[in-house]
Structure 1
Amino acid sequence: MDWNGPDDPDNPRNFSLARRFMGIASVTLLAFVSAFAGAIYAPAQTAVMRVMNCSSEVAMLPLALYNLGLAFGPIVGAPLSETYGRKAVYLATTPIFMLFMIGGAVSKTISALTLCRFFAAVFGSSNISNASATILDYTHDSERGTVLAIYYAAPTVAATLAPLVGGLVMIQTGEWSWTQWAPVILAAAFYSPLIFTRETYKAVILRRRAMPLGAADVNQTIIGARFRNLFIILIQRPIHMLLTEPIVTFVSLYNGFLFGLLYAFVISVPWVFEKYYGFDKTAQALSYLGVTVGNMVAIIPHALIDRYFFLPRLQSWKQVHEPSLKMPPESRLVSALGGSLLLPPSLLILSWTANFQVHWMVPIVFQGFSVFSCLLVYSGTNLYMMDTYGPLYGASASGAMMFSRYILSCAFPMFTLQMFEELGEGWATTLLAALTLLMAPIPWVFWIYGSQIRKASKYETTL
């Protein structure tokens, strides 16, 4: 089964611009809320320690295990999407996410709070894992780069904006529970427009269209085959690709570390500015502005690269090659090349300007440069990996990357504060800079040797 030609009205890429915009905005904002709900807890940790009478390590668990829960997105979202479609997954899992967040807000013990946030993340994670696939459903090759760059920024902007909002909420209310109510309010607001969108998943649309034509038996056969393949798609293949495919291995390692680095900022920023600059609670919350602005500004070079570098190359390629022959994906790496070079020195300058108490504006600016660089690498390498493996294996590659990303962002909060307290800002951030320097050659190796690496792949790739 396939579309009835390139102008099929059921094809999401042929929807009106307004309908496509509403659909993309809805899923992007829901992904934003799922990430926002994790990091907004960070400023509430001290209050939770006091109210629930627990240690700082235990009080950090609701943040760490929320990130662990996000790693299960493909496992929750994919089986439901295969059967019921992407829209049904959003409509079903988002209210459950909200209920568990409400449970967290009214929790009286640290164990109840931790469990509620973990399960909220499990159900909220499908918003993140399904959103990129939904955007692919809506967009043509020529517009995908810019749209995905904005989407990729959403979880990272959320992770840096959330502590700022959470800190201000704590200052105004003094109640840690409001850091849990805020995501519920946002999710309810962003959930409503989604109700009016249409299904975008091609397989489900075609199955539904075939049923009135007497294809119910085919429908059941397809569903059975898809369920038999779910274990391969969700578990076996991502693990195999993570262990045997150099592109998946190193993109997952690099991006997982960068996401962990982002959460190191979430934990360390208020500590650094209180210890070295004597900031009060309000100023500590506002010190997240550097990383938040850095995330947002990173969208601009992506749009420029897409408009003035990638699209001209794509058009030239189509003029001289068969339409079925895909352009080599290395052009997607341009932003990652720049980000990989900018990140280590940005972290190094940040570390020692704060350590020697240079004017507070300098480390805030270089925090922004650091996160700006992270997003350039993250988006560029993700687009490269997705273009390399295409629709057939891209979901498994993305699942492997997403799992490593959230496993590392679960681990980083558990040791970041202790590392900064023991080593100080200078050496702790220098250590992180050294690790990013070790990883900096990764996109350059793919840029130079990508063709040979792809030819050696055990999976179908863009050659």
Structure 2
Amino acid sequence: MASSISRSPEMAEIADHYSQTPSPEETQRTIRRINAAYDWTGPDDPDNPRNFSLLTKTLSIASITSLAWASCFAGAIYAPAQASVGQEFHQGRLASVMPLSLYNLGMACGPLVGAPLSETYGRKTVYVATTPIFLAFLLGSGFTRDIVSLSICRFFAGMFASPNVNNTSATIMDYCATRYRGASLGIYYSIPSLGAAVGPLIGGFVQRQLGWRWTQWIAVIVTCVLYIPVLFTKETYKKVVLKRRSIRMGMGDSSSQQTSVSRTIRHFFTVLILRPFHMLFTEPIVTLVSLYNGFIFGLLYTFIISVPWIFRHYYNFSKTGESLSYLGITIGTLFACAPFVLIDFSYYQKRLIRWNQTHDEPLPPENRLISSMIGSFLLPASLLVAGWTAEYQIHWILPIIFQGLTMLACLLIYAGVNLFMLDAYGPLYGASASGAMMLSRYSLSFAFPMFALEMFQKLGAGWATTLLAGFTLLMAPIPWCFFVYGERIRARSRYESSL
């Protein structure tokens, strides 16, 4: 009977099981392998982008930032070509400005393309996949034979260029420690605006020498050159990096990382459409920040449209002079990051260090607002001086200087209130809050070019800028109110904050 028991399949299976029981060391190794598929293995995990070499991080950030710059450069380079397009296609000014406005509207729709791709395939894949489509539509813009085709091509070019702008801030945060988020993003926030400012400066020369079609083709060439380094960057999105590591380790895609198509669609419909609209109309922080930042970007495109007319009408600038008149907003945008970084290190970083010594919870997000509070009064003052010095034809350098200060103030405001909003809503709802702000930003950038020039022509530079300054003065208390009452407002929010 003993022999029959020893030969039974059940006993053989049990014996085989105990003979293969792993040692404690093997168990620990298996646990570490499993954990490595779900999270970083520690602060020194080599796959964590924050542990890449300084050279790798610097070159990667420079590459993707340059691509974001090119995407906005391609949008604004069309501005000086409006008259030539209208003349060739026998169109009025409103129809001729539509390719500029529709590019911005396409930028507003871009996250519907880029965000699902980024979530599933990673940030680098978005840059690599959408940029060639953007370039194809931009190239086609130069070959169009009517205003409708040009407008359609520009719209889709903007849609597929948008992920280059919107994903860059997320990639930068993958590389940078949380402590340096303010300085890093403060520098980046000036880059797209710089592209929009440089675009018409270069576009004016290109349009006169080569024709309006070359404004599109020059943008294609520039973007192609800046696209190549992006191909050699590494993936930074944590979820995708861990999924690929799990596959390399022979563990397949972990169940926590698997998401059905229907669930993905529901997720992005909520995050990108439903929740941003709901927050836009129910959350005071999102409503006011979106309104303020949207108006600021509208101001940028107001200058892009009106600056050549101002210096032609009041100072009799030549065509070359009209193009060079964009230097004011270009230089102002270029140097806007310097005072923001100074404020971040001299105020915010010191407050953060002292706070962390005595508190366990994060520093209140209201401390991000200092730059916006400064910019809120610098903006209307700069607008008034820029407009009335031109109206009274005081030396042309003064309106150029104060146009630059206007853009500097705009970016101080934008960076401060945007970081405040991101910190207030945290990682869970910050993406939806940013989506609402982005919708407002590009929608007003779509609208302003259609009436900006007529407003300046009918009111004159002085009264037109006074009207704009009045609106900015009405919005100036926004960051101050958030600084004083922000904690109470956040306490009443329907959405979980970061605190």
TM-score range, shorter chain: over 0.9
Aligned AA (1:49): G
**1:419 offset after TM fit, Å?**
0.9
**1:416 offset after TM fit, Å?**
0.7
Equivalent-residue separation in structure 2 for 1:15 and 1:334 (angstroms): 32
**1:387 offset after TM fit, Å?**
1.4
Which structure exhibits the higher relative contact order, with contacts defined as CA atoms closer than 8 Å and separated by 6 or more residues? 1
Equivalent-residue separation in structure 1 for 2:378 and 2:65 (angstroms): 27
**Partner residue, 1:157:** 194
**1:375 offset after TM fit, Å?**
0.8
Q: Give me the TM-score of the superposition, normalised by structure 2.
A: 0.90
Would the aligned equivalents of 2:75 and 2:104 in 1 still touch at CA under 8 Å? yes
**1:461 offset after TM fit, Å?**
1.1
**1:223 offset after TM fit, Å?**
6.5
Would the aligned equivalents of 2:239 and 2:257 in 1 still touch at CA under 8 Å? no
Match of 1:335 among 371, 374, 383: 371
**Partner residue, 1:413:** 449
**Which stretch of the first structure deviates more once superposed, 127-136 or 227-236?**
227-236
Residues 217 and 140 (structure 1 numbering): CA distance in 2 closer, same or farther, change over 3 Å?
closer
- In percent, how many aligned pairs have the same letter? 57
Given the alignment of the two structures, is residue 287 of structure 1 paired with residue 325 of structure 2, yes or no?
yes
Aligned AA (1:193): P
**Count, aligned residues:** 460
Once the two structures are superposed, the pairs formed by residues 78-157 of structure 1 within 5 Å of their partners are: 78-157=115-194
Aligned AA (1:188): C
**Partner residue, 1:440:** 476
Equivalent-residue separation in structure 2 for 1:240 and 1:154 (angstroms): 30
Equivalent-residue separation in structure 1 for 2:447 and 2:266 (angstroms): 33
**Partner residue, 1:208:** 244
Equivalent-residue separation in structure 1 for 2:308 and 2:321 (angstroms): 9
**Partner residue, 1:252:** 290
Would the aligned equivalents of 2:427 and 2:498 in 1 still touch at CA under 8 Å? no
**Partner residue, 1:65:** 102
Q: Give me the TM-score of the superposition, normalised by structure 1.
A: 0.97
**1:374 offset after TM fit, Å?**
0.6
**Partner residue, 1:167:** 204
Which string of whole-angstrom CA distances, capped at 9 and with x for unpartnered residues, describes residues 48-98 of structure 1? 111111111111110010110000122111100111111001000001100
Would the aligned equivalents of 1:73 and 1:128 in 2 still touch at CA under 8 Å? no
Given the alignment of the two structures, is residue 326 of structure 1 paired with residue 384 of structure 2, yes or no?
no
Unpaired stretches in structure 1, ≥5 consecutive residues? none
The DSSP-based 3-state class of the residue aligned with 1:457 is coil
Once the two structures are superposed, the pairs formed by residues 394-433 of structure 1 within 5 Å of their partners are: 394-433=430-469
**1:224 offset after TM fit, Å?**
5.8
**Partner residue, 1:348:** 384
**1:310 offset after TM fit, Å?**
1.2
Equivalent-residue separation in structure 2 for 1:186 and 1:303 (angstroms): 29
Given the alignment of the two structures, is residue 44 of structure 1 paired with residue 88 of structure 2, yes or no?
no
Unpaired stretches in structure 2, ≥5 consecutive residues? 1-37
Equivalent-residue separation in structure 2 for 1:305 and 1:23 (angstroms): 26
**1:215 offset after TM fit, Å?**
3.9
Equivalent-residue separation in structure 2 for 1:340 and 1:371 (angstroms): 12
Equivalent-residue separation in structure 2 for 1:224 and 1:320 (angstroms): 46
Aligned AA (1:381): V
Equivalent-residue separation in structure 1 for 2:246 and 2:359 (angstroms): 35
Would the aligned equivalents of 2:102 and 2:155 in 1 still touch at CA under 8 Å? yes
Equivalent-residue separation in structure 2 for 1:289 and 1:359 (angstroms): 15
**Which stretch of the first structure deviates more once superposed, 136-145 or 268-277?**
136-145
Match of 2:426 among 375, 390, 401: 390
Which string of whole-angstrom CA distances, capped at 9 and with x for unpartnered residues, describes residues 99-118 of structure 1? 10000011111111111111
Would the aligned equivalents of 1:65 and 1:117 in 2 still touch at CA under 8 Å? yes
Name which one, 1 or 2, has greater alpha-carbon Rg: 2
Given the alignment of the two structures, is residue 2 of structure 1 paired with residue 33 of structure 2, yes or no?
no
Equivalent-residue separation in structure 2 for 1:351 and 1:65 (angstroms): 28
**Partner residue, 1:270:** 308
Match of 1:240 among 256, 268, 278: 278
Equivalent-residue separation in structure 2 for 1:300 and 1:51 (angstroms): 43
Which string of whole-angstrom CA distances, capped at 9 and with x for unpartnered residues, describes residues 391-429 of structure 1? 211111111111100000000000011111111111111
Which string of whole-angstrom CA distances, capped at 9 and with x for unpartnered residues, describes residues 194-249 of structure 1? 11111111111122223331445544347664443111111111111111111111
**Partner residue, 2:10:** none
Equivalent-residue separation in structure 2 for 1:222 and 1:132 (angstroms): 27
Given the alignment of the two structures, is residue 29 of structure 1 paired with residue 72 of structure 2, yes or no?
no
**Partner residue, 1:17:** 54
The DSSP-based 3-state class of the residue aligned with 2:150 is helix
Which string of whole-angstrom CA distances, capped at 9 and with x for unpartnered residues, describes residues 164-212 of structure 1? 1111212332x00111012111111111111111111111112222333
